[in-house]
Amino acid sequence: MKSWKELPIGAMIIEPGNSIEYNVAQWRVFRPVLDKNKCTKCGLCWIFCPEGAIVRNEDESYEVNLSFCKGCGICQRSCNVKAITMIKEEGL
């Protein structure tokens, strides 16, 4: 890590958007697992995910970016066809 001499003064963050480098995957207890056979591609999980961790692919299918998913389970609750299951991380 950077020393006090190397860090910008006044605790300024001088690289915009650098939170992308901050891996929060270890916060997660439950991981959302998407069953692509049940998914109707309605996009509700993509809308509701507070972290933007649901990724919409070019073919309009969806997947989870596990680097940013904190395992809150909102996607599971928003899915009308129950295509998302929350599974405990240590079971995986």
Partner 1 sequence: MKRVALSGNYAVAYAVKMADVDVIAAYPITPQTPIVEKLSEFVADGLLDAEYINVESEHSALSACIGSSLTGARTFTATSSQGLAYMHEVLFMASSLRTSIVMANVNRALSHPLNIWNDHSDAMAERDVGWIQFWVNSVQEAFDATIQAFKIAEEVLLPVMINLDGFILSHINEVLILPDEELVREFIPSKPLFNRLSPKLAYTIGVVGPPEYYYEMRYQIIDAIERSRKNINEVNREFGELFGRTYGNISTYMMEDADYALITMGAVSSTAKIVVDSLRKEGEKVGLISIRCFRPFPKNDIIEVFEDVKSIGVLDRALTPGGIGHPLFTEIVTTLYDSSKIIPVQSFVGGLGGRDITIDDFKQMYKIIKDVGLSGRRKPCIYIGLRE
Q: How far is the CB of 28 from partner 1 (least distance, A)?
A: 19
Residue 14, both tokens:
């001088």
Contacts of 78 (CB under 8 A, 6+ apart): 44, 45, 47, 48
Give the nearer residue to partner 1 in terms of CB position, either 10 or 91.
Answer: 10
Give the nearer residue to partner 1 in terms of CB position, either 12 or 20.
Answer: 12
Residue 62's CB is within 10 A of a number of other CB atoms, namely 21
Provide the binding-site residues for partner 1, judged by CB under 8 A. 1-4, 7, 9-14, 16
Give the nearer residue to partner 1 in terms of CB position, either 6 or 90.
Answer: 6
Residue 82, both tokens:
């129950």
